[in-house]
Each structure stands twice: as structure tokens, then as C-alpha cells.
Amino acid sequence: MMGNGFRITFWLFLSPVLLWLFLLIVIPHIDLLLLSFRGESDMGDPIWTLQNYKNFFIEPIYWYTFLRTALYAMITTFCTFILALPVSFYIVKLARPRTRGFLTVLLLLPFWVSELVRVYGWMILLRESGVFNYFMLKMGIIDQPIEMLYNDITMIMGLVYTSMLFMVVPLISVMESLDDSLIEAAHDLEASRFDILRTIIIPHCKPGITSGSIVVFMLALGNYLTPNLMGGKNSLWFTEQIYNQFIASFNWNQGAAFGFLLLVLSSVIIWVGLKVTRQNLGEVAS
């Protein structure tokens, strides 16, 4: 009797979650999936087809854009990691407790405004008639304003800036569990600073690095605003291509196919990444 009551309560509480998952995630995706297999025959009649997926591989522009996007997302992830590691190390191990809270808030602060505002903020700083150029001209460092916007490096910087927090937070949480005495023990056993980083800190932080990297990679891959606004004229991002298919070309079938390709290919990349570093997703998630 008791068991029965418990079971009913269990389903009662679980059902909103299941409904939410089903209605808002599963159904639209099934709809999109079906859409991606639809097309038009030469006569203009709707038919089932694999053409939308074929297009991706036949048309070099599409997979080139995807490769480019994936590569840049990886570079972004790597740069974010390189920057986030010392930052989180400082916050966890070196800063005094009071400064720690302050620094964490400082990291969170940019996220109180929308991404659009943040990107515009960068644009005001970096543009040819912007703040940086103004001061550099004033101080005589340069005699011609330089355009710092609209190139790949700026775009990656923007992406790194946007992703920082998502790398720092998991790193902080794994680093908190790193016993200081491990670092000291390594130091005592004649390890240099670099050795300690390589053999103790990074292996210990691996789960945090992996989960942070997955989040940052997916965020960068799925970003639309930053590449579009800061990247300038060469920065075709794969999300933009999906947007274009849906909005500009009215080709929802192609757009849906691209959406699924993005999902599948990014999952494959992450899977390969986990294999190469010999980890599994369950470990990382816990």
C-alpha cells in the first residue's frame, strides 16, 4: 500500500519534467527531423528525400563553413582554458577568502547584461574611432587609427570573453578539491612549476576541464551574435548559415538538415575528444 502511494507520488512529481522534456524538446526535434527529410521534386511536389543532407557534403561552402566553425570553436575552447586555468588557480589557491568572493562576482558581472550589449561594448572600445584608438593616438603609440574589429582574432577574443565564466566555474570547483599538500609534495619531490602544472594540477582538474570545454565548445559553436557582429566580412558561422536557410532562403528543410548535422557532428567531435583523452561522459558529469 505504502509502496503504491509512493509510486503515484513519484510519477506525479516526475510528470511535469517528462512533459516538459517531451513537449518542448522531443516533439519539436522530431518535427524538425521530419522536416529535414522533406524536399521538392523537379515538378515542385513535396517528397521524402536525402537531398538536404547530400547538399551539405556536395556543396563545399557548407562543410567548409562547418569545419571553419568547429576549428574556431576549438581554438576558442583552448584559449579559454589557457586563460581560465591561472585565473581559477589564483581564485582558489592564492586569493584571500574575502578577495575570492569579490573576484568571483567580478567574473559574473559581465553576465548581468545581455550578450548583445557586451558585444557592442567591445565594438565601442575596438572600432577605428573607438576608445582604444583614441588613447593610443593621444599617447602617440600610433599615428594612424587601426581597425581592430572585423577580423578573426577579435572574434575569437569576443568568444573567449563570452565563454570565460563557463570554464572558470567548473575549474574552480575541481580545484577546490585539490589538496595543497599534493602540490607541495610534488614541489618537494623536485618538480618545477611547470611539472606540477602538467603532472598534478591538470590531471586532477581533468573532469572540470572536460566539462568546461564541452560547454565552451558548444556555446562557441552555437553562438550567432559574436561572430556576426565582431567577425566582420569573412566570418561565416555555421549558425548563420542555418539562420540564412530558415530566414533568407525560406528553405526550412535545408535549415533543419543543417541543424541536425550541427547536432550530430558536434556530438561526434565531443565523443572523439573524450576518447582521445580517455574519459567517459558519466565521469565528467558527476
Partner 1 sequence: MTNDLSVRNIVRKFGDFTAVDDVSFDVPQGSFFSILGPSGCGKTTLLRMIAGFDEPTAGTLTIRDQDMRGVPPNKRPVNLVFQHLALFPMMNVVENIGFGLKRRGMSSAEISKRCVAILERVDLPGYGKKRIDQLSGGQKQRVAIARCLVMEPSVLLLDEPLGALDLKLREQMKVELKKLQANVGTTFIYITHDQSEALVMSDRIAVMNEGRFEQVGSPRELYNDPRTPFVARFVGDNNSWSGEVEESAEYTTICTSEGLHFRARSHRSYKSGTRVDLFLRPEALRIEPKDLTGLNTFKVSVKAILFDGANSRLLTVMPGGHELLVNLPQNRQFDHIEPGASITLGWHPDSGLCFKV
Partner 2 sequence: MKKVTLLAAACCFFMATAVQAETLKILTWKGYAPRVLIEKFEKDTGIKVEATFSNNEEMIAKLRATRGAGFDLAQPSQDRISSVQEKFKIYQAVDYSRIDTKLFIPSMLDAVKSNTKVGDNSYAVPFCWGTSGLIVNSDKAAKADDWNALMDPEFKGRISYRLKRPTLIAVGFALGYDPFALYSDAVGYKEMLDKVAEALINTKPLVKNYWANGDGLLESMRSSEVFVAMAWDSGGWKLHDENKAIDFKAPKKGALGWIDTFAIPSKAKNVDAAYKWINFIMAPENAAYFTTQEKVPTASQGANAFVSAEVRANFERSFPQETIDNIKWYPPVPAKLEVMEGKILDKIKAAK
Q: Which residues bind partner 2 (CB under 8 A)?
A: 59, 61-62, 64-65, 68, 127-129, 147, 149-150, 228-229, 232-236, 240-241, 244-252
Residue with cell 577605428: 128
Residue 286 touching partner 1 (CB under 8 A)? no
Could you say whether residue 186 binds partner 1 (CB under 8 A)? Answer: yes
Alpha carbons 166 and 97: distance in angstroms, whole number? 21
Instruction: Tell me the C-alpha distance between 81 and 157, whole Å.
Output: 13
Contact indicator for 204, 178 with CB cutoff of 8 Å: yes
Distances (CA, A) of 202 to 19, 108, 195, 196, 269: 40, 24, 10, 9, 21
Is residue 179 a contact residue for partner 1 (CB under 8 A)? yes
Of 191 and 225, CB closest to partner 2: 225
- Touching partner 1, residues 191-210 (CB under 8 A): 191-192, 195, 199-200, 203-204
Least distance to partner 1, CB of residue 272, Å:
22
Q: Which is nearer to partner 2, 130 or 273 (CB)?
A: 130
Residue 95 φ/ψ, nearest 5 degrees = -70, 150
**What distance in Å separates the CA atoms of residue 123 and residue 81, rounded to the nearest whole number?**
24
Site size with partner 1, rule: CB under 8 A: 17
45 near partner 1, judged by CB under 8 A:
no
Q: What is the C-alpha to C-alpha distance for residues 224 and 228, in angstroms, rounded to an integer?
A: 6
For residues 83 and 147, which CB has a smaller minimum distance to partner 2 in the complex? 147
In the complex, the residues that contact partner 1 under the rule CB under 8 A are 179, 181-182, 184-192, 195, 199-200, 203-204
